[in-house]
A and B are shown apart, each in its own frame.
Chain A
Amino acid sequence: MNEDWALYEVFIRARSGLEHKHVGSLHAADARMALEHARDTYTRRQEGVSIWVVRSIDILASDPEEAGELFEPARDKVYRHPTFYSIPEEVKNI
């Protein structure tokens, strides 16, 4: 019953100048088939000029339960933003 081909994640560049964006996933026997299925499944209306496929199992992701700890260190570093610094009004172009 459970004889699925490998799961691939599909990323598409909508047009040159843009980054590839995750659009979904599909099953395929190999990488070439994954590309061809991605073409048929996700670009029937010229949605892209380039496709990446990557086996889902090869992607590592952070754990949402750990998001607090993971992203917390950035929260108190407001000095990384330009608005942290007050500059007198008469100073221009800065």
Chain B
Amino acid sequence: MRPGLKFLYHIRLGSVHMYTQALDSCGTEPPSVAPAGEAERERQFQERIDRDEKIEPKDWMPDAYRQTLIRQIAQHAHSEIIGMLPEGNWITRAPSLRRKAVLIAKVQDEGGHGMYLYSAAETLGVSRGELMAQLLAGRAKYSSIFNYPTLTWADIGAIGWLVDGAAIMNQIPLCRCSYGPYARAMVRICKEESFHQRQGYEIMLTLARSGTRAQREMAQDALDRWWWPSLMMFGPSDVESGHTAQSMRWRIKRFTNDELRQKFIDATVPQARFLGLSIPDPDLRWDEASQHYASGPIDWGEFQAVLKGEGPCNRERLAARRAAHESGRWVREAAAAYADKHSDHRTGTGPAPGYAQAS
């Protein structure tokens, strides 16, 4: 047998079961040796991270690293999917055909982002069905921001500008995350996000700079309602956040929540000024010493309440997601039945009729 070819296996372990197997096989070592071996592997793993090497799906990784990534990527994927709902709410009422086409494209992108991320999470051994079931059962977290309602058209502008703007701040450093599939998904996502933010700001420009007085007020009202929830998107303050230190050691995170929040504030305040709108924070001021904006305290009570399910739209979002899942059931069943019926084409010697063979 040629060296290195003893174990040919599938590129995807594809299920928790097979990962369990891989972990089991570590456990077959004599018990006295196993803990030391594990510690040594963990040390080597950390050295790879410190050298800025990427970790790929089949590489050995500590279970805690795997679980942290599954949790983070799944939450991120769920946020993209639930995030389609508040904006989808305005597709039929967009004020022009151009705005409507743009909004459809943006919402479709968010669906795509969810798909890239579920696909990255699956490389860690969790199945898509499991993740979807957790979301539908209300057991999964997603970004608190999507539990706020979109009351006026200006909210669509504010979401693109602020919510996608905050997402970009969060996501750019994730393009350098230590886990390869997550980093690659983030590169793809970041390329698409910039249009989201610009189209939102353009809506705000139209309302706030060339709009009527009522439209200006609508823009200001949207900023008033979305500003604080957008700042909460970066997560709890560094002193509160339990995961930050370990995630930074593993190079999943590159900046702390507070650092990213500050970057966002510094970038956004001048943009609000250009719109002629005011940020709803009486404590906001430029701090000459630190060369950053100083801002007022965040209401973390509200953040915790929304996370716990007490936001204005938590129930509505999950109900909409469940209804979509249920009303798509017959389509999935029909597709599966069709695939079954035609499976003899696929198991034959050639591709099904009408398919070009890869060459």
Contact = CB atoms under 8 A, between A and B. Distances in A.
B115 interface: yes
B108 A44 contact: yes
B335 interface: yes
Contacts of A59: 10-12
Interface residues of A, number: 42
B128 interface: yes
A18 interface: no
Given A1-B129, A56-B12, A66-B3, 15 more contacts: A9-B11, A23-B188, A24-B188, A30-B346, A33-B335, A41-B112, A45-B192, A54-B358, A57-B10, A61-B10, A62-B4, A65-B7, A66-B6, A68-B4, A72-B3
Nearest to A73: B3
Nearest to B359: A52
Interface residues of B, number: 46
Contact of A64 (B59, B133, B192, B343): B59
A29 B128 contact: no
Interface of A: 1-5, 7, 9, 20, 23-27, 29-33, 35, 40-41, 44-45, 52, 54, 56-57, 59-73
B234 interface: no
B68 to A, nearest CB: 20
Nearest to A58: B10
A7 B58 CA distance: 17
B355 interface: yes
B338 A29 contact: yes
B14 interface: yes
A38 to B, nearest CB: 10
A70 B4 contact: yes
B4 A56 contact: no
Interface string B93-118: 00000000000010011001001100
Contacts of A32: 352, 354-355
B352 A44 contact: no
9 contacts: A4-B128, A32-B355, A41-B116, A44-B192, A45-B192, A57-B12, A64-B59, A66-B3, A69-B3
